[in-house]
Amino acid sequence: METSLGILLPLIGTLAILHIVQAQSQQGFINLDCGLPANEPSPYREESTGLQFSSDATFIKSGKTGMIQANWMDDFLKPSTTLRYFPEGRRNCYNLKVEKGRNHLIRARFVYGNYDGLDTGPKFDMYIGPNRWITIDLERRVNGTREEILHIPTLNSLQICLVKTGMTTPLISALEIRPMANDSYSTKSGSLELFSRRYISNSSSSLRFPDDVYDRQWSSYIRSAWTPISTTSVVSNSNSYEPPKVALTTAAVPTNVSAPLTIEWTAENPDDQFYLYEHFAEIQDLQANDTREFNILLNEKLLYGPLIPSKLVLTTIFSRSPIICDGGECSLQLIRTNRSTLPPLINAFEVYRVIQLPQSATIEEDVAAVKTIEATYGLSRINWQGDPCIPQQLMWDGLNCSITDNSMPPRITTLNLSSSGLTGTIAAAIQNLTQLEKLDLSHNNLTGEVPEFLGNIKSLLVIILSGNDLNGTIPQSLQRKGVQLSYEGNTRLIPPGSPTKPQKTKVLVPIVASVASAAILIVVLVIFLVFRKKKPPTVQVVHPPSSRPAMNVTYAYSPEPSIEMKKRRFTYSEVIKMTNNFQRVVGEGGFGVVCHGTVNVSEQVAVKLLSQSSTQGYKEFKAEVDLLLRVHHTNLVSLVGYCDEGDHLALIYEFVPNGDLRQHLSGKGGKSIVSWGTRLRIAAEAAQGLEYLHIGCTPPMVHRDVKTTNILLDQHYKAKLADFGLSRSFPVGGESHVSTVIAGTPGYLDPEYYHTSRLGEKSDVYSFGIVLLEMITNQPVIDRNRGKSHITQWVGSELNGGDIAKIMDPKLNGDYDSRSAWRALELAMSCADPTSAKRPTMSHVVVELKECLVSENSKRNMSRGMDSLSSPEVSMIFDSGMIPRAR
């Protein structure tokens, strides 16, 4: 009887012949020698198989080439002697043309061979499209490794990606793709990762192309309790699986003819699912009264039987459904029936583990559109590789996507190419992003007219075209209700509905406007002088001489008007009233004291007063006001208003009730010690605030004083970056740094900036790295009583011991996931690298911290159960929606 396995009857004829012809001609095969030097011939013939291997250079746009060291050359042949490694970017991907809906064998080879002289094998992840396939660990597998999977692509393109997961550099030696027969290796779900593929023989040789028409690799296998048998006759192998004919000429039977023939293996995970494929052919000459008949059992449960193998003709038994072995221990047994005179035999077998790759790729039309846009503008972004939307932590810069569930393809909803050096007209391919909600093309060199098709994208609600050189009339279709359109700075652009008049009229309008403006100015001046004359001298305020700049001076590179024209300006008497005469002091810093206050009856505020003895002055006051009135982000403290009255300067902020991060690390002032999960979330949120300053502002900003006392926590422990008095902006034009007087806090100060006075965004990254080390260790940044006084030196010395417990804050009592802790520590040390060029960007930091938090959440979910998902300590809610850019 038959249960969960089914028999595949022989398939003989032209179809099988066609398969062989196609495969032996290598039709559809992709053979890439990764890192093949430019001075070597391509393609070349690989010696053992005769396969034609080519350079991988045209299949990937990143990476560098290398070669294993000379003392490794004797152990490897081409294509495993060369490699491509990826020191830049988080994800690097091969783009391959395949046949949608057809099963493909994908095989990748990895040999480290100490190519870099560091003698440290890398560890990284491999992805197929948007799904993680496997982790490659070449530190453990020092002689290299080969990974293989049977996968059905859902598109006519296939992306194989290497993803950096730690401090080591991903590499690959060879990549091979083979189209398989359409009706072979079917599964109910998932792809098939090779677990074992053996042919039964006492030979030491392995088999592949041309013996195997699909270039599967077969290793020989025999057990001491078996007796090998063979034939010189040809065995027909013409079914859809077509194992090598030479593999079917050998087999084995149990030496004890009454004993079962047993094959055993152990699953890496007890829940692993397997598919089995067993190949049988009778290769012995049987006597008239001989019978070979046996049943197939797995862990003593009948899978199929009885089976009588056909003489010199292949029979393949394969599983229709995935199989799970109790406790992960699998035992396949072939047991002769009572009427069989001969023991069971087997010629070859294959075992595959089910790999679920559930995440749908971004919808094909969106991917094609954004790639066309990339080509149109000649963009070259290292992270624009792989799926644009998935996984979320690797989403392309400048994109946002709607991601519902694994089964639904993500859609691109935001395209932000601001300040990307774009030239030419607005790309027509944008109209193919039919779910686009926000488009930002500001601060480029775009010319031509605003296209009508933007108005036809019904989902498009925010369009930012500022700072280009567009001309013509804005289409009426963009004036529909709900659309926010920004186009300032395009001097030749005519708003919709504006009359287009002859040049004479255009000249007249400025003249009339100038005359009218002059007349208004004269009237205002007369009124001012009259009122000033009538004004009683007792209410005049005489300002003492000072170096304060005039109030109409705007911030450097800012197109904004003076601060009086901004948000609410409070009088000093209002400040006194809102603070109840400065009754409650909640903090003190270099600026002065900070008092609690209330505005609008119930809104709590923090009032920061500039004292006469303050080390900061009007310049810092003006800088902070100007910055906070231009920016808005959920992880930046927001400004309610300010007071600028004589010598009375004050900043009125939203009140952040839980104090600063330093207090919650030390436990001072009765503050609670925050958990590791909460620390990771706070770090990620603070990093998001810095990322916004660096890439979300126009011009970009550098905070210059990132430290734990400047990270405040609200009632939900959400992080808010504060104290922008030392912040500086960059001039627009691509400069990566500005020269400035050194400012900041000792210990957190970027050493490169300190020595060169060249301030850059990576200066904030260094300071954030020190903050992250504080959060991990709860050690002082500078401690003269330590053998290594600076925290980076102390952590560096402790790292040599390899014990994370000696580095982590003892107040955590070991309650943390070691993987997330190690990853955060590696990130912190990378941020605090003395050389700015080696530091990551804040965008990369945000991605890494979110992944650390995912790891920590997974640990807590396993230990606490699913209820922990609602815990505020491991909340994964980040404000990633549309936020207004600073102008």
Annotated binding site for ATP: 608
Beta-carbon contacts of 746 under 8 Å, excluding residues fewer than 6 positions away, are 782
Length of the chain: 887
Cis status of the peptide bond prior to 254, with omega within 30 of 0:
no
| 112-140 burial: b if 16+ Cβ within 10 Å, else e | bbebbeeeebbbbbbbbbbbbbeebebee
First to last CA, the chain: 76
User: Which residue type is seen at 172?
Assistant: I
Rg (CA), the chain: 35
Which of these is catalytic: 705, 723, 809, 833? Answer: 705
3-state secondary structure 729-767: ECCCCCCCEEECCCCCCCCCCCHHHHHHCEEEHHHHHHH
Structure tokens at 450: 């605003």
Cα–Cα distance, 569 to 180 (Å, whole number):
73
**52-55 and 30-33 strand pairing:** parallel
Element (H, E) at 331: strand 329-336
Distance in angstroms (rounded) separating the CA atoms of residues 63 and 35: 9
What's phi and psi for 814, nearest 5 deg? 75, 5
Say if residue 868 is exposed, middle or buried (CB neighbours under 10 Å; 0-12, 13-18, 19+): middle
β-bridge partners, 162: 92, 126
- Residue 89: phi and psi, rounded to 5, are 80, 155
- Distance, in Å, from the CA atom of 413 to the CA atom of 393, rounded to the nearest integer, reads 16
**96, 124, 98: which is closest to 110 by C-alpha?**
124
- Is the CB of residue 469 less than 8 Å from the CB of residue 492? yes
Q: How far apart are CA 721 and CA 634, in angstroms?
A: 9
d(CA 646, CA 548): 11
Residues with Cβ within 8 Å of 162's Cβ and at least 6 positions away in sequence, in order, are 86, 91, 92, 93, 124, 125, 126, 127, 170, 171, 172
Q: State the Cα–Cα distance between residues 195 and 307, nearest whole angstrom.
A: 25
Does the active-site annotation cover 803?
Answer: no
Q: What is the dihedral of CA 691, 693, 697, 700, to 10 degrees?
A: -100
- What is the rounded distance in angstroms from the CA atom of residue 178 to the CA atom of residue 98? 9
Sheet containing strand 64-67, strands side by side:
64-67, 82-85, 171-172
**What is the secondary structure of 509-552 as a DSSP string?**
HHHHHHHHHHHHHHHHHHHHHHHHHHS-GGG---PPP--PPPTT
Counting beta carbons within 10 angstroms of the beta carbon of residue 293, is it exposed (0 to 12), middle (13 to 18) or buried (19 or more)?
Answer: middle
CA distances (Å), origin 836, targets 5, 180, 540, 564: 60, 49, 53, 38
State how far the Cα of 552 lies from the Cα of 561, in Å rounded to an integer.
8
Is residue 20 classed as helix, strand or coil in its secondary structure? helix
**Pairing state of beta strands 91-97 and 171-172?**
unpaired
Three-class DSSP labels, 159-204: EEEEEECCCCCCEECEEEEEECCCCCCCCCCCEEEEEEEEEECCCC
Spatial neighbors of 419 by CB under 8 A, at least 6 apart, are 442, 443, 444, 698, 732
What single-letter DSSP state applies at residue 629? H
The count of other CB atoms within 10 Å of the CB of residue 223 is 13
Kindly list the catalytic residues.
705
